[in-house]
Amino acid sequence: MRYDTFMLGQKSGTRLKIGIAGCGAIGGSLARIVREEFGREMRVSALFDLRAEHAAALAGRLHIAAKTAVARDLKALIKASDLVVEAASASASYDIACECLKAGRSVMVMSVGGIVDKVERLLREAERSGARIYVPSGALAGIDALKAAGGARLKSVTLTTIKNPASFSGVDYLRRRKIDPAGINKDTVLFDGRAEKAVRCFPQNINVAAVLSLAGMGARATRVRIIASPFVKKNIHEVRIESDAAVITTRTENVPHPENRKTSYLAVLAAAAVLRQITSPVSVGT
């Protein structure tokens, strides 16, 4: 089964209330974009972070009063929002999304690795409440064509992710195999297998595999290769899609986010583009 993003209905004359769950690199950047660029259509209504000081610092940067903007818990954030942006962690994203949908609030999920194997349950909550789940393309080109090609038969979808070895420091899966990323001095395949396993083994690195799975053949049938290369500085994602309609290849060379080098700048902009699309009367692309 495939899952696409949906458009959120908005009452005319009201600004969409955006709540931010997780006020780090992505949550902070999106909040700033909403405030500075989308102020006519939406506003930042509430901020929540497990570390309250992160939410308070973001309120300060946005020049909004922490007393009113910082929610004391997730429930309060949801109550104050029409749409919650989850930008927290893969271990929390399913619960956050579930709570939002149960309360009839739409949710944009950034930690996609945390929902990829439970999306059916989220879908049931969304259908029940009428709220929407948005999953931006992230740091990856090709989702548009994959969704279109999925209208015919998809034969294979392969993601090859190439990153500098330093990006893999602290990954448990490698530690268990006694692979020290600091010692890698030539292109080395760290993983080649199903997306469902890649998501478990590289939880901080592999949201793109989860997005690709949801848009295409699912996490069992999507193949993921992860390569550590000392010759690259950027995070590179290559996608190859074979289908009855077309053979599609894309390559995205990502610039790291200035506040979190593990996150790609494009991922933030993709999420902002989805927010923009929600309130725009024109929809371009699949």
Ligand X SMILES: NC(=O)c1ccc[n+]([C@@H]2O[C@H](COP(=O)([O-])OP(=O)(O)OC[C@H]3O[C@@H](n4cnc5c(N)ncnc54)[C@H](O)[C@@H]3O)[C@@H](O)[C@H]2O)c1
Q: Which residues are catalytic?
A: 237
The residue number with the shortest CB distance to ligand X is: 24
**Shortest distance, position 113 Cβ to ligand X, whole Å:** 7
Q: Which residues bind ligand X (CB under 6 A)?
A: 21-27, 48-51, 54, 87-90, 92, 110-112, 138-139, 204, 207, 260, 263-264, 267
Q: 116 or 126: whose CB is closer to ligand X?
A: 116
Helices and strands (H and E) in the chain: how many: 11, 12
Closer to ligand X at the Cβ: 260 or 279? 260
Q: Where are the alpha helices (DSSP H) in the chain?
A: 25-37, 52-62, 66-69, 74-79, 90-102, 119-129, 143-149, 172-176, 195-201, 207-215, 265-279
Structure tokens at 174: 């490698």
Residue 109 beta carbon to ligand X: minimum distance, rounded to whole angstroms: 8
CB of 133 to ligand X, least distance (A): 13
**113 vs 243, beta carbon nearer ligand X:** 113
Q: Which of 163, 169, 140, 138 shows the shortest CA–CA distance to 227?
A: 163
**135 vs 108: CA distance, rounded Å:** 6
Quick one: 165 or 203, whose CB is closer to ligand X?
203
CB of 72 to ligand X, least distance (A): 12
Kindly tell me which of 75 and 155 has the beta carbon lying closer to ligand X: 75
State the Cα angle at 126 between 124 and 127, rounded to 5°.
65
Say whether 234 sits in a helix, a strand or coil.
Answer: coil
Nearest approach, Cβ of residue 183 and ligand X (Å): 25
Backbone angles phi, psi at 194, to 5 degrees: -75, 150
Using DSSP bridges, classify how beta strands 42-48 and 235-243 pair: parallel, antiparallel or unpaired: unpaired
* β-sheet with 16-21: strand ranges across: 42-48, 16-21, 83-86, 106-109, 133-134
